[in-house]
Structure 1
Amino acid sequence: MRIPFKIGQPKKQIVPKTVERDFEREYGKLQQLEDQIKKLHKDMKRSTEADIAMSKSAVKISSDLLTNPLCEQDQMFMETVTALDTAMRRMDAFNQEKVNQIQKTAIEPLKKFGNVFPSLNMAVKRREQSLQDYKRLQSKVEKYEEKEKSGPVLVKLHQAREELRPVQEDFEAKNKQLLEEMPKFYNSRIDYFQPSFEALIRAQVVYYTEMSKIFGDLTGQIEQQGKTDEQREKENEAKLNDLRALSIVADD
């Protein structure tokens, strides 16, 4: 039984399988890179937003403590909270500098690099459309080649071949350009992002170096001789037990 011929599915292999595999491999690498860029950009934005929220919350806590009546009743405690508030505000300022640096040297370059992918994907779509046109016209040529070579058929065959030629050339040009440029674009990621990630690391190093100084100074200001954390915990527990002994909080 003869299978009816379908327009658009030529019998001739118009794109070698090795070429198609090369194209799929290179484009697949770029699709994976696009996904990675989007994820990294999103994660870095979340990270910097969390950093800002953390330092702002720390400043809010120390500021609230300063206005708490408890501080007014104990001069030593007021000095401790004042030192804490100063440290938190210094931390917030350095954190803002770090975030601004990361935004400028890492997040924005990620976004700019990611903005290239829509044009790349559009070029791949145009190549695919050109390939479909090529297959359709090749199939048309094959249909006339299989028919009996009458005058009208030969005329139509000639017309079909003339129609095929520019479409074939268009596809081959698009295919050649993408196969040449996709690997170059993929390999460019290293030179593009290395300075950004180096700047990201430096920003973190500078920030945590300053944090070490700030909290080192704070430790020297608030350190209490002769009291460990365990001792303070025992004192708090003892005071809490005294409160529990009051009649107003006694169990029914």
Structure 2
Amino acid sequence: MTCSGEVLGKTPVDFKIPFKIGQPKKQIVPKTVERDFEREYGKLQQLEDQTKKLQKDMKKSTDADVAMSKSAVRISSNLLSNPLCEQDPNFLAMVTALDTAMKRMDSFNQEKVNQIQKTVIEPLKKFSSVFPSLNMAVKRREQTLQDYKRLQSKVEKYEEKEKTGPILAKLHQAREELRPVKEDFEAKNKQLLEEMPKFYSSRIDYFEPSFESLIRAQVVYYTEMHKIFGDLTGQIDEPGLTDEQREKENEAKLSELRALSIVADD
């Protein structure tokens, strides 16, 4: 598993905030500010996607680990119930050693999975739960911006008209309606521009302990597996017999079986 390009992320090139309305003549939000906002929010959108993907992949990985070790235990248990074990003491001793090793492996694997669940998957899940609130804050900011643009256009419309008494009254009313909306937008915009980069930067400090725990869990598990299978090798290995020699022995025995009349081709 790697974290570069995923949780760390890159800024998407074609990011667009999904809100569009007609522009008033007056530029109420500088283009540089809007670009900064789009860039920062785009980084957080990608961070959200990659966090969810990593959480999903980690869950698949631990599920596969559990399935693997449980299958190994079932295989050794089934071998122990094979009648051949009753007839061949050497085979019984070998399968018993295998069964013990598989159960030890399963136990350590479960400890590893539990640790990953607690220190990696759960933190990823909690981190993902923050994004709905963030996305709602961005949506509220965009809705306020639409109101701001609509009221600014209304003010501009009255400013262009002849300054009669009724028009001046409507202009004054439109400006009064515009003022709190403008202040609300500027406050929301400022808060998001300040806090989005901080939130994005915090991902390193947040995830680093999780990744460190993941690495340690894997190191402990495979260290124990080395010991377990080393012990198993010592119990079942035949001195001086290579894998190639074992393969030749198996082929010779299989040839003898194929020579039996009951398996001969018709």
> Contact 1:131/1:171 (CA < 8 Å) preserved in 2?
yes
Determine the structure 2 residue equivalent to 1:234. 248
Determine the structure 2 residue equivalent to 1:12. 26
> Contact 1:8/1:137 (CA < 8 Å) preserved in 2?
no
| SS state at 1:12 partner | coil
Deviation at 1:224, TM superposition (A): 0.6
Question: What amino acid is aligned across from residue 113 of structure 1 in structure 2?
Answer: F
Deviation at 1:226, TM superposition (A): 2.6
| SS state at 1:53 partner | helix
Identify which of 75, 78, 82 aligns with 2:89: 75
C-alpha separation between the residues in 2 aligned to 1:206 and 1:8?
Answer: 60
Deviations 1:202-244 (A, max 9, x none): 1111111111111111111111123211111111111111121
C-alpha separation between the residues in 2 aligned to 1:140 and 1:50?
Answer: 61
The structure with the greater share of residues assigned to helix is: 1
Determine the structure 2 residue equivalent to 1:102. 116
TM-score (norm 1): 0.96
Moved over 4 A (4+): none
C-alpha separation between the residues in 1 aligned to 2:126 and 2:178?
Answer: 39
C-alpha separation between the residues in 1 aligned to 2:191 and 2:25?
Answer: 26
Q: In percent, how many aligned pairs have the same letter?
A: 87
Identify which of 187, 196, 205 aligns with 2:201: 187
C-alpha separation between the residues in 2 aligned to 1:156 and 1:227?
Answer: 100
2:95 counterpart of 1:92: no
Mark the structure with the bigger radius of gyration.
Answer: 1
Farther-moved stretch of structure 1 (242-251 vs 232-241): 242-251
| SS state at 1:148 partner | coil
Deviations 1:92-150 (A, max 9, x none): 00000000011111110010011000000000000000000000000110111111111
C-alpha separation between the residues in 1 aligned to 2:53 and 2:111?
Answer: 24
- Structure 1: gaps of 5 or more residues: 1-6
Question: What amino acid is aligned across from residue 191 of structure 1 in structure 2?
Answer: D
Determine the structure 2 residue equivalent to 1:4. none
Identify which of 173, 190, 200 aligns with 2:187: 173
Cα RMSD of the aligned pairs, angstroms, is 1.0
C-alpha separation between the residues in 2 aligned to 1:200 and 1:12?
Answer: 53
> Contact 1:41/1:110 (CA < 8 Å) preserved in 2?
yes
Deviations 1:166-215 (A, max 9, x none): 00000000000000000000001111111111111111111111111111
C-alpha separation between the residues in 1 aligned to 2:53 and 2:174?
Answer: 48
Deviation at 1:8, TM superposition (A): 4.7
Deviation at 1:9, TM superposition (A): 2.9
C-alpha separation between the residues in 1 aligned to 2:227 and 2:258?
Answer: 41
C-alpha separation between the residues in 2 aligned to 1:78 and 1:38?
Answer: 47
Question: What amino acid is aligned across from residue 239 of structure 1 in structure 2?
Answer: K
2:156 counterpart of 1:133: no
> Contact 1:8/1:139 (CA < 8 Å) preserved in 2?
no
**Larger RCO (CA under 8 A, 6+ residues apart):** 1
C-alpha separation between the residues in 1 aligned to 2:118 and 2:215?
Answer: 13
2:153 counterpart of 1:142: no
C-alpha separation between the residues in 2 aligned to 1:93 and 1:251?
Answer: 47
Question: What amino acid is aligned across from residue 88 of structure 2 in structure 1?
Answer: D
Aligned residues: 246
Identify which of 56, 78, 83 aligns with 1:42: 56
Deviations 1:64-109 (A, max 9, x none): 0000011111101100000000000000000000000111111100
Determine the structure 2 residue equivalent to 1:243. 257
C-alpha separation between the residues in 1 aligned to 2:45 and 2:236?
Answer: 54
Identify which of 132, 149, 156 aligns with 2:170: 156
